[in-house]
Amino acid sequence: MKQEEIWDADIANRYDTPGTGMFAPEVLGPTVDRLAELAGEGPALEFAIGTGRVAVPLAGRGVSVTGIELSRPMLERLRTKADEKTIPVITGDMATATAPGKYTLVYLVYNTISNLLTQAEQVACFRNAARHLVPGGRFVIELGVPDLRKLPPGQDAVVFHSEPGYLGVDTYDVLHQHLVSHHVEFDGKTRQARVSHSPHRYVWPAELDLMGQLAGFELESRHADWSGAEFTGDSQSHVSVYRTAV
C-alpha cells in the first residue's frame, strides 16, 4: 500500500487529538521549545508536515516554517489552521521533493522516517535534508528504538499498547527490518471495531548515523526525548541532531 493511500481522508479527519496523546502539552511543548532553539533566527523546513501538529505552534513562536507533505487530505486539515502564506507547503515525497530556499533547520518527527520502507529511500531522505540546509545547518530526527527484546522467540507479533477502547499490535519481519502497526479502536456503544494499519521500516541508531555520514552529516547530539534526557541502552526513543559542515 502506498503512503498516500494510508494517510487518506479518514485518517486525516481523525488524526488530531487536541490536548491528548501526541498533542498533549507535555509532549508538544518540549518538542516546539527544542526546535525553536535549534532553528535560531533562520527558517525551518518540516518533512511530512501532516496536519501541522508541530509546525503551527512553531510558527506561532516566530519561526518561519515551510513544509513538505505527500498526503493531500492531511494538508487540507493543515489549511484549516494556517494558510499558504503563513506556512507554505510543497506537495511531494520527503525523500525527493524540493522546497525553495535554504534553511537552518530541517526536522522529521514522530517516527516518520520509518514510513519510508527501504534503506535507499531513507538515505535519500538524509540527502534531501542536506540539500536544503545552509552550511552548519541541522537535521533533527525523532525516532523509536526497535523494541525487539519484547518479541518472544518463535513469534512475530507483540502488543505495544492496550487501553480501554484501543489495542495496538506490531507484527515484525526481522529479515527485512519491516513492521506493521495494527491499530484496533473499539466503540463501546456499537460494539464495532475500526482497524487500520501502517507499515514501517525500523532503523537502529547506528544505521541512522551511517545514513547521516553518507549525506555529509555528523551526529551532534542524541537524547532520549525532547527535554534532553540521557540516551541509554534502555531508551525507547531518541531525538538525534545531525549537522552539516560549516
Model pLDDT for residues 85-131, shown as the tens digit of each residue:
999 999 999 999 999 999 999 999 999 999 999 999 999 999 999 99
CA distance 47 to 5: 18
> Strand 166-173 vs strand 157-163: parallel, antiparallel, or unpaired?
antiparallel
CATH topology of domain 3-146+203-244: Rossmann fold (3.40.50)
Give the side-chain half-sphere CA count within 13 A for 67. 29
If you compute the radius of gyration of the chain from its CA atoms, what whole number of angstroms results? 18
Task: Say yes or no to pLDDT of 77 above 70.
Answer: yes
CA distance 82 to 217: 32
For residue range 145-184, what is the model confidence (pLDDT) as tens digits?
Answer: 998 988 888 899 999 889 988 999 999 999 999 999 999 9
For residue range 22-61, what is the model confidence (pLDDT) as tens digits?
Answer: 889 999 999 999 999 999 999 999 999 999 999 999 999 9
Task: Tell me if residue 219 falls in helix, strand or coil.
Answer: strand
Give the list of residues 6+ apart from residue 139 with CB closer than 8 angstroms, or none: 105, 106, 107, 108, 126, 129, 130, 133, 212, 217, 241, 242, 243, 244
Sequence spans of domains, the chain:
3-146+203-244, 148-199
Task: Tell me if residue 26 falls in helix, strand or coil.
Answer: helix
